[in-house]
């Protein structure tokens, strides 16, 4: 273990900069966070809700049948879009009978 000593003034400056950084980060997170009433689902949630495999879900995305958003490498779906998709699929099944 190594102990590093610094002047109190330097420590206080570092602490202040860290606090400003933390506040800025919190501001950015709150600015870009989706509204609380907007419900987002991930792949596992949607697969379970639609009772389909990950591959089938990918086909729905690739064909443009199901809207999604991607943040970094993770995919998210709006609950309203999934429910609308489910309704449309149900109608297609009824019409095909």
> What pTM, to 2 d.p., does this model score?
0.58
pLDDT at 39: 83
The answer to whether the Cα torsion of 40, 75, 56, 44 is positive or negative is negative
pLDDT at 82: 94
Residues 34-71 have pLDDT tens digits of 555 568 899 999 999 999 999 999 999 999 999 999 98
Question: Is the per-residue pLDDT at 95 higher than 90?
Answer: no
What gap in Å lies between CA 74 and CA 42, rounded to an integer?
8
Question: Is the per-residue pLDDT at 16 higher than 80?
Answer: yes
- CATH annotation of 40-96: 1.10.1660
């Amino acid at each position: 273990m190594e102990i590093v000593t610094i002047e109190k003034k330097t420590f206080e400056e570092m602490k202040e900069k860290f606090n400003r950084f933390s506040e800025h980060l919190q501001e950015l997170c709150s600015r870009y966070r989706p509204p609380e009433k907007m419900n987002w689902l991930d792949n596992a949630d949607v697969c379970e809700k639609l009772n389909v495999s990950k591959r089938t879900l990918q086909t729905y995305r690739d064909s443009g049948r199901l809207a999604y958003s991607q943040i970094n490498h993770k995919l998210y779906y709006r609950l309203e879009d999934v429910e609308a998709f489910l309704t449309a699929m149900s109608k297609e099944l009824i019409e095909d009978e």
